[in-house]
Chains A and B, each alone.
Chain A
Amino acid sequence: MRLMTSIVLVALVAACSTKPTQPTLYERLGEQDGITTIVDNLLYELGGNDTLLPFFAKTDIGRFREKLIEQLCQVSDGPCEYTGDSMAQVHAGMGLNDSHFNALVTDLVAAMDEADVATGAQNDLLSRLVPMYDEVMNPDAYLEPGTASQAP
């Protein structure tokens, strides 16, 4: 019986030790501190972006920052839950086109570069955000009439 228990224990330990623990994207982005740095860098980039800045004229930047940190944390498998409005609600009525979307991606890449995020982790985050493209660009298709966010 003791032999049996030992064998099982050894097998379990072996199974655990051979299974490499892959860091989550959240960890690779530097967890909460790293994501906060990325978002702050992004805000700095947006501040100098004449194409995108007008869209933030009426935005509560503090809330935007907090919700974006939450969102990137959740998207990267971190211990957070995004509590902001849907992408459709946030972007409704903005009349965005591809040049705006491209400009934001460019600023996000610059923000990640500035935060020394490795190329692989950058690509991973971008690949998780890109599926939101359709909802951001065509918010009306995702909204019931009258449900767009009134106060940012």
Chain B
Amino acid sequence: MIRKFLQKLYLALIFIILYAPIVTLMVLSFNQSKTRAKWGGFTLKWYKELFQNEQIMSAFYTTLIISFVAAAAATLIGTAAAIAIQGMKQRWRTFYMGVTNIPMMNAEIVMGVSLMLLFIAFRMKMGFGTILIAHITFNIPYVILSVAPKLKQTNRHVYEAALDLGASPLEAFFKVVFPDIVPGVMSGFMLAFTMSLDDFVITHFTKGPGIDTLSTKIYTEVRKGIKPEIYALSTIMFVTVLVLLILINYSPEEKEDTKTKKKRAKKPSKVKKILLRRVIPVTICVLFLFGGFYYSRESNVMNSDKVVVYNWGEYLDPEVLTMFEEETGIDVVYEEFETNEILYPKISSGAIAYDVICPSDYMIQRMIKNDLLAEINFDNIPNIKNIGKDYMEQSRQFDPENKYSVPYCWGTVGILYNKTMVKEPVTSWSILWDEKYKDNILMQDSVRDAFGVTLKYLGYSLNSTDLDELTEARDLLIEQKPLVQAYVIDQVRDKMIGNEAAIGVIYSGEAIYTQMENPDLEYVIPEEGSNIWIDSWVIPKNAENKENGEKFINFLCRPDIALKNFEYITYSTPNVEARKLIEDDAVRNSKIAFPDLSQYENLETFQYMGTEADQTYGELWNQVKSH
């Protein structure tokens, strides 16, 4: 009895651990507040908004379709292979099982990268097809490993008996052997489907523009905080699967079966059984299918007139895209990236022809240097007049002749601190090295930003390539490491809102948003100076729809559109006309969003320093991180 109780307790504990995060996500889907760090009251609005969010829904259906097709194809190939392997001689079987084990043993990242290199080498167009191939590849082993043991259990004579009774080999297989291995095939399929659904790393490396699975969509959002609609979608998915599972496994009449005398009771329960185990699941599946058609119809009306946009995650109001499509009749294929460094190889390899991309200053400089960008025809961008002169001037640091880029957003890097935790006035980067705030400091998790901050603190240029200066900065960063709570990118935002830390290094654009959510937060640009950055629209050399790209840029420079974007992403806009339209005085005159640049002489823009310096930075940063 005690043993039984302990067993139950143990099971319960594991279940709690297993499902705690899931319950958390479900709760977050009802959270009024957009950030996961704060509970803003109960709401169902995310569910409503989910179905209007075409990006998420189409990512969802892409995920389902890819998972389904990949799992089906893998099941077919894998089952056939398992049958063949079963009949092979020992040596061949060992060989095949070895091959099967490669994807299982191999690191996902290695597999993803190797496939990406292959696709690029063979000039395959990255997109739905390449993701599918990759998914089938890593799914097959799961199917083989599910089917093989079942095959081993089946009696060979059964197959021969079927042949003996006049069945053709095919009939014999499908009527006799196949039913025996169905559980294995099914579990292989389910496993493959689940793995596909859950995969991120491999999809990430093999996907192309305009296509997203849920995983990659979520990953681009991890930076900016995940959209609550995603929580809503996950909750719906999870609950649906759970209900299906319960229906399929719960058969109400089974208990009655033992009481053989109650034969009359069987009839209605049979109806119930069919209803529960067949009708409802089929209905749900059909519903999903129709949803798929509906959303794919909306997103797949491929106009020949299109523009392929590659932008930062969460860096544009989705409504703007719709408006652009409606006004111009040009379809936007929209994809998001997470860092400049991810963007660069995609552009330099030329594997994908983007029409408009939005890199940062130093990356633009690098692209210009490597002749990857096309000159913009400013005749097509009359709205350039709305962009402030100062910003065009700033741009000359990386685009000396203002030929290649149109500024989109800009900002500074500074310190965000919580007034309730930091009582002293914050003026210097030195607070990041203050023992008082041990475990309360959030540092930027990127080489340039971390070194930039430190170099500035030391009084050097943040574009320093002097090894002594860099070593000094490295040592300072290593000294700082024990004080740092975490190295993060845009999660500074959620963590600061949730009062997780006292001080964080943050982009000014994020600071505005965090202040809205948590009034205790204050942003300063330290007196030693800092980084001023500009993200600009550029057009790659291999763009196929250059003119559409220019139309798109022009559209974004329209004051009302720029305003809409500013309100959505809260990053400072260089569009002076748009700024004038801001209704809220506090925001329009915000020192954070629009600091008076003349007061800060020691603000610097990142420069591209060449591969060698890049590697030096990378190595030094690794030394910090691994210390």
A, B from the same assembly: no
B contact set with A: CB distance below 8 Å: none
On A, residues with C-beta under 8 Å from B are none
